[in-house]
Amino acid sequence: MTVWSQLVGQTEAISVLSTAATAAAELVDGTGTAAGMTHAWLFTGPPGSGRSVAARAFAAALECTTPGGIGCGECQGCHTAMSGTHADVRMVVPEGLSISVAEMRALVQTSARRPTGGRWQVVVITDADRLTEGAANALLKAVEEPPPRTVFLLCAPSDHPDDVSVTIRSRCRVVALRTPSAAAIAEVLQLRDRIDGETATWAASVSSGHVGRARRLATDPAARERRDKVLRIPINLRRLSDVFDAADDLVSAAEADAGQVSGTRDEVEKDALKTALGAGGTGKGAAAATRGSAGAIKELERRQKSRATRTQRDALDLALVDLAGFYRDVLVTSSGSTAALNHPDHATSSRQAAEKWTQESTLRRLEAVLACREAIEINVKPRIAVESMITQLYMG
């Protein structure tokens, strides 16, 4: 399997990227020109379309060492780039709410070096929409005057100025990814993850084109249970007291997700830092190092708190997307449309809701969910935003 096998339903993008990788290889070998290759790329597409996967696959193809096998998936360059261990491929995966200017300046400085063992110095920024203004300006300077053997790969939901600044966007070649079909997702779940056909087909049909979500639903019973619980909320809002119960369930589930992801990792990181700073050691030097470690530990705790907040928001947003999909299914059902449902396994519930609610009240409920997503994105307290939303879902 080549590195392009990781991309699901992206035939056009694969064609563009493989052509560019070939041109890049010829440029390094001195056998061709830079036609088809550029120093900065922007991968856009809806959640789950595979933006970071495409960037990683392209990075692997640029580092491929097999003659004529651009992105062969078998050589050391491909293996290390795909696994994240290649010395010349730097993955910037923001764990907190944003990418700071200090982090970006350090990265830009590193990217100016020549490749140590590979063919290109590749910088992959998986969430370029989280760049602060200062970080974006620091990146812009590098993109304006790039080193000769450095490539920047940026990933963002779109090329809108709210996601990527106009000045950075103007210096990048855009690769727009599309939402993969349910059939393509089911196929990759069966071939790559060895999931049985029935489960793969179901997971693909309810994932809204999100490959990672489909895989998690197919393999994680807890994820399936959380999804079912969220989709039962609209039908179970019978009394005003149900509003607060449902809000508590949503927020608590998001907090539990964040705790599950961060808890063990936080302790390991803190223990490793304390050890590096001399904890448990003896002698004057170790004692002095330990006394001066408070600032470093405090900074680590700050980053961990930011990561937990981001994880909680992402988990809650996923639940809100499921809710929005349910109300969309109600509108589809009440209008008699033949469009595919987001949640076909909950078709009975959406049909019952369509018989009970008017289209106007359903649309108001959908708008309440979307407004809640926007409120959380601008730092409204999740519990307040969710309680307000569910009150509107109850009132209609």
Per-residue pLDDT of the chain (396 residues; tens, 9 = 90+): 789 988 888 989 999 999 999 888 888 877 766 667 899 999 999 888 889 999 999 999 999 988 766 888 889 999 999 988 998 999 988 776 788 888 888 888 888 888 887 689 999 999 999 898 899 999 998 888 888 889 999 999 988 888 899 999 999 999 999 888 899 899 989 988 899 999 999 999 998 888 888 998 999 898 898 889 899 999 989 888 889 889 988 888 777 766 665 666 666 666 666 666 665 555 555 555 555 566 767 776 777 677 777 778 888 888 899 999 999 999 999 999 988 899 999 999 999 999 999 999 999 999 999 999 999 888 889 899 999 999 999 998
Residue 10, classified by CB atoms within 10 Å of its CB into exposed (0-12), middle (13-18) or buried (19+), is buried
Residue 157 phi, psi dihedral angles, 5° rounding: -60, -35
Q: Which residues contact 360 (CB under 8 A, 6 or more apart)?
A: none
**DSSP label of 334:** H
Rounded Cα gap, residues 57 and 52, in angstroms: 8
Could you give the CA distance from residue 232 to residue 340 in angstroms, rounded to a whole number? Answer: 20
d(CA 40, CA 120): 13
Using a 10 angstrom Cβ sphere, with 0-12 exposed, 13-18 middle and 19 or more buried, the burial of residue 235 is middle
What's the token pair of residue 359?
Answer: 């289209």
| Distance between CA atoms of residues 222 and 202, nearest Å | 16
Tell whether the torsion through CA atoms of 57, 60, 62 and 68 is positive or negative.
Answer: negative
Residues contacting 139, CB < 8 A, separation 6+: 104, 108, 125, 131, 152, 168
DSSP 117: S
Cross-strand pairs, 124: 91, 153
Token readout for 271 is 């223990």
Q: How far apart are CA 112 and CA 181, in angstroms?
A: 40
Beta strands at 40-44 and 173-176: parallel, antiparallel or unpaired = parallel
**Predicted TM-score (pTM) of this structure:** 0.78
Name beta bridge partners: 123. 90, 152
Helices 76-83 and 51-63 cross at an angle (nearest 10°) of: 150
Q: Which run of H or E residues covers position 138?
A: helix 133-144
Question: What's the CA gap between 247 and 223, in Å, rounded?
Answer: 18
Q: What is the pLDDT of residue 367?
A: 96
Amino acid identity for residue 43 in this structure:
F
CA distance 355 to 350: 9
Token duo for residue 143:
């993109």
Q: How far apart are CA 315 and CA 262, in angstroms?
A: 13
Q: What pLDDT was estimated at residue 60?
A: 94
Q: What does the pLDDT read at residue 276? A: 66
The residue among 125, 126, 120, 160 whose CA lies nearest residue 140 is 125
- Cβ pair 185, 8 in contact under 8 A: yes
Secondary-structure percent of the chain, ordered helix, strand, coil, rounded to 5: 65, 5, 30
| C-beta of residue 172 within 8 angstroms of C-beta of residue 154 | yes
Sign of CA dihedral 358, 392, 327, 197: negative
Length of the chain: 396
- Give the tokens for residue 287: 């004692």
